[in-house]
Chains A and B, each alone.
Chain A
Amino acid sequence: MSATLEKGVRVIKEVIDAPIASYFNSCVHCGLCAEACLFYTETGDPKYTPIHKLEPMRRIYEQEYTLLGRLKKMAGLSKPVTDAELKEWQELVYNSCTLCGRCSVVCPVGNDIVYMVRKFREGMSASGNAPDGIKGAAHRTVTIGSPMGVKLPAVKAQMKHVETDYGIPIPLDAEGAEYMVMLSSMEIINFPEYLGAIAKIMQQAGKSWTLCSTAFEATNAGMQIGNSDIARVIVSRIVDGAERLKVKTVISPECGHAYTALRWEGANLIGRPFTFEVKHIIEVLGEFQEQGLLKTDGKETDRLTFHDPCQLARRGGVIKQPRNLMNQVAANFVEMPDAGFMNWCCGGGGGASAIEEGEELRLEAFKKKKSQLEAVKPDRLVTACANCRIVLEEGLEHYQMDIPVVGLTEMIAEHIPEMEAKP
């Protein structure tokens, strides 16, 4: 078996549904989606207009699911979609789309464009037209266990480090724990403080929690590549782990698309509702804050701003919580223009950051973030997504902007007073 155009088209036929049909029929070519897309606003190239990124899928819809389209196809009046065309579209569907969903919230006729791009990626991947970068990540996640090639021993080593540094035990495979904490390999390798932060926060809140030896990696390259079969393999590990340990809630790490994959796509991928809840760590922190379980000392005094990860805010509905948390620990918190629901993407979401050949475009698109930052001139930038964090750091470095990026969870944890002396 291998990827073929025929397979790709068949998969697209599978995923086309009433919303997509309605969306394609509603489009009036007003071009407003382009104004919402940072790849267009920063390059001025009309080919990055979001709805245009779906043109091959639109034709397949018309040719397969409308009577007039079928007749046109039979009469040879419509151009069939070719493999070369899909290959050409790779740049539009992956490199220049981070699934940020800004287009979907501005479209005046109400088209959920990002919903369509996500579905189109099913066909793109099945036809072998997904970018190598994400394919590689998917490969590593399925075969090794994480997109960055991190295996359990590496996690265990980190656990040991944290236990030593913080003096708090890190539970592994603790059955019946309330929370099962997921990580992203980015956090395991680049931001180990995250695990320590969780340990401190859980300890203060007095909640039982655990890591899972068979499911520690939350990211899902299968979803980014847009392939449900592969995304299902990855998400099933987490479901199995959570059900094996009988946890009440699985906590998605500071990673936007991991949250989307688990919280919103997971149940649909495995075909049944979850027996546990899924929450983003920021949601959990928000709950702790409301319940008075999150007590902090002192405040950051430098000028801070918060970058909303798209999947958490616009695509996930967690907008108020990070602000409440920021205000608890920051004395000088300022908002960037368009912050919150309409925040601009870092430019590397939806798998885009894994595409090597897309780097130049990514950096071009980063000008949007640059201008947002220049408007408020923060000393540091806080966010809640490890991928955003990496992309932001790259962009800031490229444009020689000296703004450190920090994770919100870690920042909160730094203000949690030591509970007791080390044992």
Chain B
Amino acid sequence: MSLLDVDAVDAYYGESHILRDLSLTVEEGEVCALLGRNGAGKTTTLRSISGAKPPEVRDGTVRFKGDDITGLPADDVAMQGISLVPEERRVFANLTVEENLRIAEVSRNTSNTWRRPRTATGQSMSTEQVYEDFPRLGERKTQKAGTLSGGEQQMLAIARALKQSTDLLLLDEPYEGLAPKIVEDVEAAIERISDQGVTILLVEQNAAAAIKIADRAYVVDQGAVVFDGSATELRDDDETRERYLGV
């Protein structure tokens, strides 16, 4: 059984058909990349998994650890152990760095049992561990998160996700808008997290950067999967890369 199993999903925003019969799986412990051009349906795929700004899934199912989570509200999805690091402005700008981390703790300690029991089993990082892994955050813990640089905000968003108990980490374009030097830092952080045993689904436009750290990759175009294979296969598949990724 795969950890995450997206099975033949058809998703709509209003009348626009965004995902067409899209299937993908993520195995426990791997880094899986979801690649494609702008507008190919990558973010929509993540949204139908996470339940944040979800499209309407008219057909198909999303299973996590074998349970059907299709159409579940975002907070319940988080309780199952799926943590999302969304694209762009990702943190609570008016809260301090420390509060941004603590808020994930609050949610970890509460349980929506009257709706759906919490089944997350993943470890959650301690605050000390976070500050050790991301020393910049430790230095700025009393600052408002909005005053951090883009790279630091991205680190904070990742750290916050790891403070929930995470079985699967969804990363939506973590490199977007970051300077090359910072991209390397984020890359290192993702690899470290992966080494700690967290499963990652990484959505990226920057295919070259994603392939570097991914085990497997999917390429989507117009809402459907057009490539499915190991990262090495994709690296060698010039035709797919040129046609769908433009590199």
Judge: A and B partners, yes or no. no
